[in-house]
Chain A
Amino acid sequence: MYETEIRHLSGELLESGDVEGIVGYAPGPLPLSAQPFLFRTSSELQNLIFNSFCGMNLARYLVALPKSAGRVAIVAKGCDARAITVLLKERQVEREKLFIIGVPCLGMLDRKRLSARFGELREGDIEFRGEKLIVRGEPVALLEFLDWTCARCRYPRPPLFDVLVGEGTREPLTGGTDGLLRLWELSAEKRWEFFSLELSRCIRCYACRNACPMCYCRECFVELQRPLFAHPAPSLKDNLVFHLGRAMHLGGRCVECGACERACPLGIPVALLTCALSEVVREHFAFEAGVSLEAEPPLLVYREDDPDAFIR
């Protein structure tokens, strides 16, 4: 899916000296996995891939590039391009230093769920035919194996790009907020039961935070000791402060890519928190992060008729 186009375009960009490198995906050490990679030579480009296991948000690597670095191209799915837009708006990257290779995305697959059903999978076991998912020759329900953030994605087509390598796009598969809606339908006790269980499993490795392009603070609030907001040792009470604090810091900034949840080694559904706030922002402040370079971030503006009913 667009792999050849991306490779071809990247080759041209490198050869013309337009960019110093391409931020993209290379094959990971495990079958059907991808590893973020900075391609600097045409021979390295032989390894460039793009498939439905390229779940890491590459925009995360842009802020880490040294100031002295030259122009880079970046392979950007819809959510990656949204993240780049947020970073541009927050002036963490310069537009002139980026060449955005926009890639329309059909969604990322959950390798664990696939292996649980089909056993160890190899290259060639999985393919997309149009919008159908075929596993070892049999069509399967795409919805069952897509990451839930991808199933509800509204921006498979990058809203910002220099070149778009294809035109394929699709509507959200789950009516927008399915996974979140189901949670909202539960009672408060049931929701707390679910979240207290999941968040108590967190061991504070910060994979979620570090995978997020928007978490670029040099010193995160959890690293502070004076004042101490969340003690470094894992415990539900401190894990709550970390995850709630992080969700608040992403309020109006989260692009719902799901990289945080994919990064979690324990499979804790952390994207639920950040995406829940994205939905609140969408519904009440009519704002979606990373969709427009002009729109003002929701927490930097206000309206006279903002929600007020929760205030006595």
Chain B
Amino acid sequence: MLSFDRGMVVSWEAFVRWLGHVRPFVTPLVRERLRVIPRDVLTPVTFKTLLFPPREHLYHYSFRERRWELCLEESSPEPAFLLLAPCEARALLDVLDRVFLEEPPTDAYYRRRRERLTFAVVGCTFFETTCFCTRVGGHPLLHRAEDLFLLPLSSGIYLEGFERKVIEGRPLALQDREETERIAASLESQAPSPFPSSLPEKLYGEFESREWESIAWPCLNCGACTFFCPTCFCFDLAVDGKLRGTMVRTWDSCMFPKFTLHASSHNPRGRKEQRVRQRVLHKFSYFPLRMGAFGCVGCGRCLKVCPVGWSIQEAVERMMCCAQDSLPASSPY
């Protein structure tokens, strides 16, 4: 992963020209890392928007001549090319793809968009204050061998997996290699240490802890964190129309009070601390225990957008401290 032999270095001007031809979508995280990106390059609110839009039409229906008619939405979306940060690529591959595509029935709407989406991974040369990808099994330079990979250097941008006919580059000079080594070393020295493998079980053991109440206290119960989170995938189905209309899939948030409201009017997560606890446990306990990977990629977007600066990392750390003194818990599965 950290060998830079397969790629080439391209000048910033050539790269910006290439951006102009290809017109990729660029996520906000990548915009932070590649300041040369021109203003007119589109930055979706989150890359999820391209695969799992906040407003997706599933089918149209109408009641005519005493019959219900359904018309499935089958339009193919435009192909999209996306520049992702490594944490976002992980979110896409390890979480979203698995949730929507791994087990049948797979999600046809997601699949249609996913098939027309290609992406390149843009490595990070620094950790932001909000980043903690290495705590959850990620890394700022992480990418698969088959991925297109980019890394900003001072002399230009390092590209891997790009065909020469697409963009012209030169092999790495000695100073480029030295720079990549410096970057890798600096990242290693700053990398936050991984969470222990016992975290999922330990956290679940703290389910009944009173500490959740004080952790949850400042939360406003808006949906900002869940909507900007690259791994959150909860949705709601709501019809728009009466005798004629559309079945719309929209983003839902486990933070909303009515998220778990049953038809019987019972709400198992009617209190704020129950919802906040669930969010933390889902990402750091249930999902890893079931699927083998954390449901959080440590991108830090939730903290950036939270109106009250609530930090999921801090919440996990606080509960880990509580868990130090408790007996080991059994898994919920």
Q: Give A residues with C-beta under 8 Å from B.
A: 28-31, 33-38, 56, 60-61, 64, 120, 201, 203-207, 209-211, 223, 225, 228, 231-235, 259, 262-266
Contacts of B256 in A (CB 8 A): 206
The answer to whether B309 touches A31, judged by C-beta atoms less than 8 angstroms apart, is: no
Contacts of B227 in A (CB 8 A): 203, 205, 265
Q: Give B residues with C-beta under 8 Å from A.
A: 45, 54-55, 129-130, 214, 217-218, 220-224, 227-228, 236, 238, 240, 248-253, 256, 258, 272, 303-305, 307-311, 313-314
The answer to whether B217 touches A235, judged by C-beta atoms less than 8 angstroms apart, is: no
The answer to whether B45 touches A266, judged by C-beta atoms less than 8 angstroms apart, is: yes
A50–chain B nearest beta-carbon distance, Å: 15
Contact A29:B309 (CB < 8 A) given known A210-B220, A233-B54, A265-B228? yes
The answer to whether B248 touches A207, judged by C-beta atoms less than 8 angstroms apart, is: no
- Of the residues A30, A205, A210, A263, contact of B129 by C-beta under 8 Å: A30
Contacts of B45 in A (CB 8 A): 201, 203, 266
- CA–CA, A231 to B239, complex, Å? 8
Contacts of A263 in B (CB 8 A): 220, 222, 224, 307
- Of the residues A30, A206, A223, A225, contact of B130 by C-beta under 8 Å: A30
Contact A56:B253 (CB < 8 A) given known A30-B129, A38-B217, A211-B220? no
Contacts of B130 in A (CB 8 A): 29-30
Contact A36:B308 (CB < 8 A) given known A205-B224, A233-B240, A263-B222? yes
- CA–CA, A225 to B240, complex, Å? 10
The answer to whether A30 touches B303, judged by C-beta atoms less than 8 angstroms apart, is: yes
Contact A211:B307 (CB < 8 A) given known A231-B240, A265-B228? yes
Using CB atoms, name the residue of chain B closest to A27. Answer: B309
The answer to whether B54 touches A234, judged by C-beta atoms less than 8 angstroms apart, is: yes
The answer to whether B311 touches A265, judged by C-beta atoms less than 8 angstroms apart, is: no
The answer to whether B307 touches A56, judged by C-beta atoms less than 8 angstroms apart, is: yes
- Of the residues A35, A223, A262, contact of B258 by C-beta under 8 Å: A223
The answer to whether A29 touches B303, judged by C-beta atoms less than 8 angstroms apart, is: yes
27 A-B contacts, Cβ less than 8 Å apart?
A29-B129, A29-B313, A29-B314, A30-B130, A31-B129, A35-B310, A36-B308, A56-B308, A60-B220, A61-B218, A207-B220, A207-B222, A210-B222, A210-B307, A225-B238, A231-B240, A231-B250, A232-B238, A232-B250, A233-B249, A233-B250, A234-B54, A234-B250, A263-B222, A263-B224, A264-B307, A265-B227
- CA–CA, A246 to B168, complex, Å? 54
- Of the residues A35, A203, A225, contact of B218 by C-beta under 8 Å: A35
- CA–CA, A138 to B288, complex, Å? 50
Can you name 11 extra interface pairs (CB under 8 A) apart from A232-B238, A233-B238, A263-B307?
Answer: A29-B130, A30-B304, A31-B129, A36-B218, A37-B217, A38-B217, A64-B272, A204-B54, A231-B240, A232-B236, A232-B250
- Of the residues B222, B236, B238, B240, contact of A205 by C-beta under 8 Å: B222
Contact A231:B307 (CB < 8 A) given known A38-B214, A203-B45? no
B101–chain A nearest beta-carbon distance, Å: 23
